[in-house]
Amino acid sequence: MQKILLVDDDEPLCLVVSERLLAEGYSLDIVHNGEDACEYLAMGAYDLVVLDWSMPKMTGVEVLRKHRAAGGQTPIIMLTGNASIQEKEEGLDSGADDYLTKPFSTKELSARIRALLRRPPAIVGDTIKLHDLELDTKGHRISKNGAEIRLQPGDFALLEFFMKNAGAVFSPEAIIQRVWGHESEASVDSLRTSIKRIRQKIDNGGDDSTSLIETVPRVGYGMRK
């Protein structure tokens, strides 16, 4: 289940938007000011953020800049009651992925969310960026929100495979063959153990249902987009 953070101080609007997104099967957290938004972004792994510009304590664009400065790659849709080109330009230049002017149709917002969630992970040179993770394939380094994470070589190879193929689900046998090769001594049990170790490093608590590495019963595993 893909997880969205909705940030807006307009509680009636949040109710309308949340009804739509929950009906479409998304998991949703809602906060009503910029400071709480920063805390939630630091603690949770979100697939997308819907972020209002004008809020108490911190503006949406301040939240956006702070998240991007910390290395956050989460797709962000900005909401604003100001239709000026100047404000839209400022938001997009600060790292917003899309913009929607109030009032808007929840149907249009939903379509824009689907479009952003279809994007593949950002791969620039030797670096893969997905969620709040950044993986350097050449330097064999992985970081989360800018903080380095240490993984065993086999776990690193597995995470690299998942990040390169985000959104796809593979059987345990297919993963073993594609990551370690058919001559490897890796087993389904050792794959589960490797996934458990990776989850402990990249997730922010919670259970398997909220992990970045998704378990699909009777099918296999995959990285959430």
Residues in the chain: 225
Do 106 and 36 lie in one domain? The reply is yes
Residue with tokens 């997880």: 3
Answer yes or no: is pLDDT of 105 > 80: yes
At residue 142, the pLDDT reads: 93
The tens digit of pLDDT for each residue in 119-172 reads 766 655 678 888 888 898 888 899 988 889 999 999 999 999 898 888 888 899
Q: What integer pLDDT is reported at residue 20 of this predicted model? A: 94
Tens digits of residue pLDDT in 180-197:
877 778 899 999 999 999
**Amino acid code (one letter) for 206:** G
DSSP-assigned letters across all residues of 105-150 = -HHHHHHHHHHHHTSPPEEETTEEEETTEEEETTTTEEEETTEEE-
Q: Are both 159 and 198 inside the same structural domain?
A: yes
pLDDT on residue 126: 76
Q: Residue 103: is the preceding peptide bond cis (ω within 30°)?
A: yes
Residue that is last in its domain, among 98, 117, 136? 117
Number of domains in the chain: 2
H or E element: which one contains 18?
helix 11-23
- Of the residues 82, 117, 152, the one at which a domain ends: 117
**CATH number (domain holding residue 67):** 3.40.50.2300
Task: Give strand ranges (E) for the chain.
Answer: 3-7, 27-31, 48-52, 76-80, 98-101, 122-124, 127-130, 133-136, 141-144, 147-149, 213-216, 220-223
Residues 82 and 131 in one domain: no
Q: Give 49-96 pLDDT, tens digit per residue.
A: 999 988 888 888 999 998 888 777 788 999 988 767 777 788 788 888
User: Are residues 112 and 70 part of one domain?
Assistant: yes
Q: Which residues 6+ apart lie within 8 Å of 67 measured at CB?
A: 38, 41, 49, 74, 76, 95
Same domain, 57 and 150: no
Domain endpoint, select from 117, 151, 185:
117
Please answer whether residues 91 and 111 qualify as being in contact, where contact means their C-beta atoms are separated by less than 8 angstroms: no
Burial of 72 by CB count in 10 Å (0-12 exposed, 13-18 middle, 19+ buried)?
buried
Determine the angle formed by the axes of helices 85-93 and 60-69, rounding to 10 degrees: 20
Structure tokens at 18: 């949340």
**Which residues constitute the domain of residue 48?**
3-117
Same-domain status, 101 and 177? no
* Residue pLDDT, tens place only, 11-43: 999 999 999 999 998 889 999 999 999 988 877
Same domain? For 77 and 63 the reply is: yes
98 and 130 inside one domain: no
pLDDT at residue 83 in the model: 67
Judgement on whether residues 72 and 138 belong to the same structural domain of the protein: no
Are 54 and 87 spatial neighbours (Cβ–Cβ below 8 Å)? no
Q: What is the pTM of this model?
A: 0.59
Q: What pLDDT, on the 0 to 100 scale, is given for residue 13? A: 94
One domain for residues 129 and 94: no
